[in-house]
Chain A
Amino acid sequence: MIVLDGISKSYRLKNGPYEAVHSVSLQVFQGEIHGIIGTSGAGKSTLLRMINLLESPSTGHVRVNDLELTQLTTKNLRNARRSIGMVFQAFNLVHNRSVKGNVLIPLELAGFSKQARLERAAECLRIVGLERQAEQYPSSLSGGQKQRVAIARALATNPTVLLCDEPTSSLDPQTTEEILKVLKEINRNFGVTIVIVTHEMDVIKSICNKVSIMEAGEIIETISFEPKGFAALKNDYQSLRRQLLSEVDGDV
C-alpha cells in the first residue's frame, strides 16, 4: 500500500520558487492499478517520482508498505527501492548489455547468487514474452520490446509496487495495447500494485481501477471505476469524464 500524506515539491527557479506538486494526499491499495492523468506540467511525473524518492518531497510523508521512506537512511532507502520497480517512457535500458544482461542488473545489485540470478532473469523474460530475445542487444529491438525488457527488469527483484512513468507514450496504439496487457497480467498474476502516469485516456480506460486527475500540482478528483470498470460510470460522473477527456485533448 502506498500512502502519500500532504506531499509538496517546490523548485527554486530563476524567477522565484515554483511548486510542481502542492499538498497532495493519496492512498493506493495493494493490488490496484491507479492512473494519474493530467496535462503536461500538471505535476503528475513529479508526483510519481516522489513515491520512490527519485525526487524528495519538500514537505509531507511517503509511506510504501508501512515504511516511511522520507525517514530512511540512504542505505535503507536503496533496499526499499528494490521492492518498488519503475518503468520509464524512454525505457532507459543499458545499451551495452544484452536483454538478459539488463534484467540481471537489479539481481546483481540485490546480491542474488549467480544461479538464482539466471533463473530469475529467464523467468522475468518469460513473463514479458521475450525469452527468445535474451541474447540480443536493445538496439535491435522494437520500442514495444524495449519496454518489455524494462518491465522484466523492473520485476526482477519481486517488487510489490510498479511505478510507470508514461510507459506507452512513445509507442504506437497497437504496441501500447500489448504493453498494457503485460502490465495487467502482472497485476493479476502477482498482485503487483501499479501506479501509472499518462496523458492518454485509452490507457486509463483499458487497465485502471482508479484514476486521479491532476491539475496545477493538485489532485482535483479521484474516481473509482470499481466494480464494473470505466464503462460503468454513471451520469454523475459524465461531467467529470468530459473534463477528463478535455484534459487529454488539451495535451495532445
Chain B
Amino acid sequence: MFDHIMQYQSEIWQAIGETFLMVGISISAAVLVGLPLGTLLFLCRRDQLLENRIVFSILNVFVNVVRSFPFLLLVVFLIPLTRFIVGTAIGTLAASVPLAIMAVAYYSRLVEQSLLEVPRGIIEAGTAMGASTLEIIYKFLYVDARSGLLLGLTTSTISFISYSTVVGIVGGGGIGDFAIRYGYQRFEIDLMVFTIIIMLIFVQTIQFVGSTTARLIDKR
C-alpha cells in the first residue's frame, strides 16, 4: 500500500501545496477584509458607536447571502467575477476568489459575535477616557475579544479547508480534488484513505494550536 502511495508522491505534494495556497489566501482575506468588516458590522448595530442602520443592513445581507449559498454553487455563480479579477475561471488562483469571498463573509460574522461578548461598559470607559473610535477598537475591543477572535479564525480556517475540497469543479486542485479524482473516481481506496488522514492531521493540528493559544492569551 505504502509503495502505491509513494508512486503519487509528487501529485500529493502538489495537491497539498494547492490546498495551502487556497487556504492561505482565504485566511488573509478573512483577516484583512473580514476582520474590519465584522468590526464595522458590530459598530453599526443599534446603540453602538457608529450606529447606522443602512450600512448594517447592507453588510448583514451580504454576509447572509454569501453564507446561504451552497459553496459549490457560489463557485459557479462567481465565475464572471473570477474571470474579471484573475483573468481566468480555471485553476487554483481562480478557485481562491470564491473561497476568499466566503472567508470574508464567514469570518466577519464570527468577529461580530466575538465583539458582542465584550462588556458594553468597557467601550464606555474608553469613550470617557477620550479614546477615538479607532483607539476603542484596537485598545479595548480587540484586546478583550482576542481569544474569541482567534478561536473564530481557527474555526474559519478549518471550514476553508473543507470548502477548498470542492473546487475541483473549476480545476482548483488541492488535496480534496486529489482524493476525489484518484481515490474515488479511480477506485484507489488507499489513496483516498491516505488523503483523509492527511486532512485529519491538518485539522487536528490547527484546532490544537488555535485552542491552546486562545487559552494562553485569555486572562479574563
Chain A residues in the interface with B (C-beta under 8 A): 52, 54, 77-82, 84-86, 88, 90-98, 105-106, 108-110, 137-139, 150, 153, 157, 163
The smallest C-beta distance from A96 to any residue of chain B, in angstroms, reads 5
Q: How far is the CA of A86 from the CA of B124 in the complex (A)?
A: 10
Q: Please report B residues at the A interface, Cβ cutoff 8 Å.
A: 119, 121-122, 124-132, 135, 139-140, 143-144, 146-147, 217-220
Residue in contact with B129 in the complex, picked from A77, A105, A137, CB distance below 8 Å: A105
Q: Most B CB atoms within 10 A — which of A52, A98, A105? A: A105
Query: What residues of B have a CB within 8 angstroms of the CB of A110 in the complex?
Result: 130
A93 partner residues in chain B, CB cutoff 8 A: 122, 125
Chain B proximity of A165: nearest CB distance (Å): 10
B217/A96 in contact, CB under 8 A: yes
Within the assembled complex, what's the spacing in Å between the Cα atoms of A98 and B129?
18
- Listed from nearest, the 5 A-B pairs whose CB atoms lie closest are A81-B130, A92-B121, A92-B125, A86-B128, A78-B130
Question: Are B219 and A92 interface neighbours, CB within 8 A?
Answer: no
Which chain A residues border B127 with CB–CB below 8 Å?
54, 81
Residues of B contacting A106 in the complex (Cβ-Cβ under 8 angstroms)? 129-130
Task: State whether A109 touches B119 (Cβ < 8 A).
Answer: no
Docked-complex contact A109 and B128, CB < 8 angstroms? no
A-chain residues with CB within 8 Å of residue B128 when the two chains form the complex: 52, 54, 81, 84-86, 163
- When distances are taken between beta carbons in the complex, the residues of chain A under 8 Å from B143 are 94, 96-97
A79-B130, A95-B220, A110-B130 known; A105 vs B121 contact (CB < 8 Å) = no
- Min CB distance A121 to B, Å, is 14
Neighbouring B residues of A153 by C-beta, 8 Å: 125, 129
Distance, CA A110 to CA B220, complexed state (A): 26
Contact indicator A109/B130 (Cβ below 8 Å): yes
Contact assessment for B122 and A94 in the assembled complex, using a CB-CB cutoff below 8 Å: yes
Check if A88 sits within 8 Å of B125, measured CB to CB. Answer: yes
In the assembled complex, the CB of B133 is this many whole angstroms from the nearest CB of chain A, namely: 9
A139–B218 alpha-carbon span in the complex (Å): 11
B220 contacts A96, C-beta separation under 8 Å: yes
Instruction: Give the nearest-CB partner of B147 in chain A.
Output: A96
Chain A nearest CB: distance from B151 CB in Å?
Answer: 14
Chain A neighbourhood of B140, CB < 8 A: 94, 105
Q: Which of A77, A82, A109, A137 interacts with B219 by CB under 8 Å?
A: A137
A86 to B128 CA separation, bound complex (whole angstroms): 7
CB distance from B9 to the nearest CB of A (A): 45
Q: Determine the chain B residues whose CB is within 8 A of the CB of A85 once the complex forms.
A: 128
